[in-house]
Amino acid sequence: MIIAAIVISYLLGAVSFSYLMGQLLKKLDIREHGSGNAGATNTLRVLGKGPAVIVLLLDCAKGIGAVWIGWSMTGGDPLAGAAAGAAAVIGHNWPVYFGFRGGKGVATTIGVLATLVFLPALAAGITAIISIIITRYVSLGSLIFVSGTAVITLTSSFWHLYPWEYTSVVVLLAVLSIWKHRSNIERLRSRTESKLGQ
């Protein structure tokens, strides 16, 4: 059942709402415009605020839904919930339906982490939002969110607040997100990263 949950969650995560929104509204491939990323931020750049909000919410919902699929198919097994959530992020990043060219998985990761470790994700999320408001760098906020959630969750593990499966997946997703943002990190260092609204 865990394997089935992982497969279903990957296929759910592989649904690219930003690509579908681009096709629906302007008959374009979102990956060929703006930053080339199939995600909510690039949807904002190319299609505007309304479509971006919809994509953000739907991508988050994929992460939330995947974790619940894992839990519901196994009677609440922590490993199944965590693995299914990770599978949804992998599906978003490398979608089988769209030639394995997806996004960076931030919104889906938000959904997964908020479901598995709500309080660490909330604390890191507030910090990330403040960072975005001040700097207007969405990529920086994303990195603060994933790394902050990982650090807080790891610290919480000393008091056994979360199952080791959750902690492991939180760290795994943080590492994956940082790796997917490696070009953004280089641009942040050189101060050539695009700001929100540019």
| Model pLDDT for residues 152-171, shown as the tens digit of each residue | 999 998 899 999 999 999 99
Domain ranges of the chain: 2-190
In which band, very low, low, confident or very high, does the pLDDT at 35 lie, cut at 50, 70 and 90?
confident
In which band, very low, low, confident or very high, does the pLDDT at 184 lie, cut at 50, 70 and 90?
very high
Longest dimension (CA), the chain: 51
| Model pLDDT for residues 82-134, shown as the tens digit of each residue | 999 999 999 999 999 999 999 999 999 999 999 999 999 999 999 999 999 99
- DSSP states along 114-176: HHHSHHHHHHHHHHHHHHHHHH--HHHHHHHHHHHHHHHHHHHGGGT-S-HHHHHHHHHHHHH
Helix axes 17-26, 40-47, angle to 10 degrees: 10
Average pLDDT in the chain = 95
**Predicted TM-score of the model (pTM):** 0.94
